[in-house]
Amino acid sequence: MSETEPAKEKMIRFTADLPESLHRRFSIYAAREGKDKVVLLREWLEEKLRNSGC
């Protein structure tokens, strides 16, 4: 890693239980967007927390 590259932050595994219908809709949405579900979830969380001032 060069001196200009930011260090990668350690990842923590997060598990959530979802209703089957919500998971199915989420999977369809992710496929339509061409993104992994985990990427979408990280983006949504970052946006929500940034907008809330956290």
For residue 2, what pLDDT is reported? 57
* Angstrom distance (rounded) from CA 8 to CA 22: 31
For residue 37, what pLDDT is reported? 96
DSSP summary character for residue 14: -
* Angstrom distance (rounded) from CA 49 to CA 21: 26
pLDDT in tens, 1-54: 556 777 889 999 999 999 999 999 999 999 999 999 999 999 999 999 999 888
Residue 9 lies in a domain: no
Range of the domain at 46: 20-51
Domain count, the chain: 1
For residue 3, what pLDDT is reported? 64
Residue 41 lies in a domain: yes
DSSP summary character for residue 5: S
What is the SS3 assignment for 17? coil
For residue 23, what pLDDT is reported? 98
